[in-house]
Structure 1
Amino acid sequence: MSVKISATAHYVPERIVTNDDLARVMDTNDEWIQKHTGIKTRHFAMDDENTSDLATKVGEELLQKSGLSAEQIDLIIVSTITPDSLTPATANLVQRKLNAKNAFSFDISSACAGFVFGLSTAEKFMRSGRYQHAIVISAETNSKMMDFQDRTSAVFFGDGAGGVILSNSDQANDDFYVDEKINTAANGTEYIHSGRINPIKEIKSTNFPSLDAFYQDGRKVFEFATGIVPEQMKTILEKNHLTETIDYVIPHQANLRIIEQLSQKLDLPMEKFVVNVVDYGNTSSAGLAMALDQLQQKHPEPKTVLLTGFGAGLDFGSIIIKL
């Protein structure tokens, strides 16, 4: 039995936010942002558009492209660190909005590595033979978790969603999965955090839960992303004899400077790297899924692709797929 990617899709909100827009609310400017991040614009979800809405748009497009009905979906996984709520899961909301009444659904919280973790998880479910079709979506409304007085973080992020449908196949050549390597660097739990909830100190009527905004130690994250992560990428490429012949690389769209560093450390030309961070900003785990759909639209021919995600946790993972 094989597992194939039967459809890809992505969606971004209509509202485009430029660097000049951000400069009106914080001490920054277009020149600084482009120099340090390569980002020109990003999209923000506004007017009550939440993470489940973005994910549902992707789900609808996936169903339309694949020719499947919502009732044929067995599993829905949503990777997100900006859920509509802690419970119910955003995936549950997507299941309801799609009317995928036969699917079970749950969220994965692995930050910017979420799409790789979600794809890996769904592949294991599908390989069991008990399920025929699974939807994996990464969706983020990062804008709602930003501290817009923190210019070291807020300028990076945008909102968006992307995903795939995995389907069983009896054709060996259809199989999308080549190999994976997934890790957690446990010493990095303080480098990135968002939505922390403090325990109560006493029982009193004024207790009410509150969340903290997104925070990252930019220098530590950069060192991690350009140090440990490319070593993992090299290892999996070497293991599969693809060091020089990999067709495309889709890294986490953290910022353009990190992607340029990965290109140098892997000794692969930037032409092999799929990039959307310039126009979409850092969309956390959604960036990989969005870039995968963009690549598929632009280059529908058969290809081998390395997907690498890395983020809070510190979680990082690489998966090689065939399309």
Structure 2
Amino acid sequence: MTTTPYTILASAGCLPERTVTNDDLAARMDTSDEWIRQRTGIRTRHIAGPAETTSTLCTTVAQQLLAQAGISADQLSYILVATMSPDYATPATAAQVQGRIGARHAVAFDLSAACSGFVYSLHVMQRLLAGSEKRYGLVLGGEVLSRLVDWHDRSTAVLFGDGAGGVLVSNRGPGAYLGADLRTLGDQGDALTARQLAAGDDPQAAYLHMNGRRVYSFAVREVPRSLTQAVANAGLTLAQVDHFCLHQANARIVAQVAKDLDQPASKFPLNIAQVGNTAAASEPLLLAENIANGTIQRGDVVACCGFGGGLTVGTVVLRY
């Protein structure tokens, strides 16, 4: 095992003010609270208002992270934002955050890997920060998926929520990057799509479309494989991992992964009931919540795993 210094100095999340319950959705489409809870584990989700965008949510998180860590924006070397729902095609969401917080010396760019985006970004940031000079970087995941969803389609509308989360990391400190496993299955990408419209296209084509059964099968097959491989690459056993922070796509997927790995469910924290599927914001929101409530302690080994559009899957193993 090659251990690389890589420390999470701060973690934070930001959710839109508006909360939409399952009963709220049942009032506008053919569904019910019971149907949604049994199939997904979701009870509520947060939906962005007119003034809330991916960039504003990510900026709030960035400001929280700097305040927590006592780091000035001028000290940042890099800002990465994982998102599949940016405000614009250009400028990048990360560039907007950089400008708003005054991080004049930071290189900023977005990474698009859907629900694996935050984990992929953790991996990329570790590479960017490598070297003898002390450096700091922001790794953010932010989404406003409510603007990609057809609110008359219960197969997708009940699943997704908006939000942002992130971490401030350094190549110094007590934490460490222990190992990873990243994989892209581009030949299966048509199972989950959201595309820009061309002239003459049906407006419905712009919405997020998902083959739920194919994505579920992909997840329960590939997530255990990725976790097992990443932990092996870290020179550890699954039993030595203290927390498995999985993308919150479906509570049943998380339960099945825990069963397949023969690990206790208590190692797999959940917040999907409150926030739904927030794609690239999912893992950082879960991390921030469990660090704040003391579940994740300094020295703990944490495996973060994202999976989704692309199709993509990725796991990064860290010592917090």
Tell whether 2:190 aligns with 1:190: yes
DSSP-derived class of the 1:162 partner: strand
Identity in percent: 37
The separation in 2 between residues aligned to 1:61 and 1:238, in whole angstroms, is 34
Tell whether 2:140 aligns with 1:141: no
Task: Please list, as runs of the form range in 1=range in 2, the aligned pairs for 1:88-237 lying within 5 A after superposition.
Answer: 88-129=91-132, 132-169=135-172, 174-198=174-198, 212-237=206-231
How far is the alpha carbon of 1:48 from its aligned partner? Answer: 1.8
The separation in 2 between residues aligned to 1:288 and 1:2, in whole angstroms, is 21
How far is the alpha carbon of 1:130 from its aligned partner? Answer: 5.8
Aligned partner (choices 289, 314, 318) of residue 317 of structure 1: 314
Structure 2 unpaired stretches of 5+: none
Tell whether 2:256 aligns with 1:253: no
| Match of residue 51 from structure 1 | 54
DSSP-derived class of the 2:39 partner: helix
Q: Residue 192 of structure 1 contacts residue 217 of structure 1 at CA under 8 Å; is this kept in 2?
A: yes
Measured against aligned partners, the alpha-carbon deviations of 1:21-71 in whole angstroms (never above 9, x if no partner) come to 111221111010001101000101113210001101100100000001111
Tell whether 2:268 aligns with 1:273: yes
Task: Please list, as runs of the form range in 1=range in 2, the aligned pairs for 1:260-299 lying within 5 A after superposition.
Answer: 260-299=255-294
How far is the alpha carbon of 1:128 from its aligned partner? Answer: 3.6
Matched residue type, 1:277 = I
Matched residue type, 2:52 = E
> What TM-score do you get using the length of structure 1 for normalisation?
0.93
| Match of residue 304 from structure 1 | 301
Matched residue type, 1:32 = W
Matched residue type, 1:177 = Y
How far is the alpha carbon of 1:210 from its aligned partner? Answer: 9.6
The separation in 2 between residues aligned to 1:77 and 1:14, in whole angstroms, is 25
Aligned residues: CA RMSD: 1.9
Measured against aligned partners, the alpha-carbon deviations of 1:237-273 in whole angstroms (never above 9, x if no partner) come to 2442222121000011001111111111111111100
The separation in 1 between residues aligned to 2:299 and 2:123, in whole angstroms, is 21
The separation in 2 between residues aligned to 1:304 and 1:63, in whole angstroms, is 24
Q: Residue 246 of structure 2 contacts residue 268 of structure 2 at CA under 8 Å; is this kept in 1?
A: yes
Deviation beyond 6 Å, 4+ runs, structure 1: none
Structure 1 unpaired stretches of 5+: 202-206
Measured against aligned partners, the alpha-carbon deviations of 1:159-212 in whole angstroms (never above 9, x if no partner) come to 11111111132x5xx2420000101012211000113333x58xxxxx9x9970
The separation in 1 between residues aligned to 2:272 and 2:114, in whole angstroms, is 16
The separation in 1 between residues aligned to 2:175 and 2:158, in whole angstroms, is 39
Between 230-239 and 306-315, the greater mean CA deviation after superposition:
230-239
The separation in 2 between residues aligned to 1:27 and 1:130, in whole angstroms, is 57
Matched residue type, 1:196 = Q
The separation in 1 between residues aligned to 2:209 and 2:167, in whole angstroms, is 29
The separation in 1 between residues aligned to 2:205 and 2:91, in whole angstroms, is 17
Aligned partner (choices 14, 30, 33) of residue 30 of structure 1: 33
Matched residue type, 1:294 = E
The separation in 1 between residues aligned to 2:236 and 2:299, in whole angstroms, is 18
Matched residue type, 1:317 = G
How far is the alpha carbon of 1:129 from its aligned partner? Answer: 4.3
Matched residue type, 2:278 = T
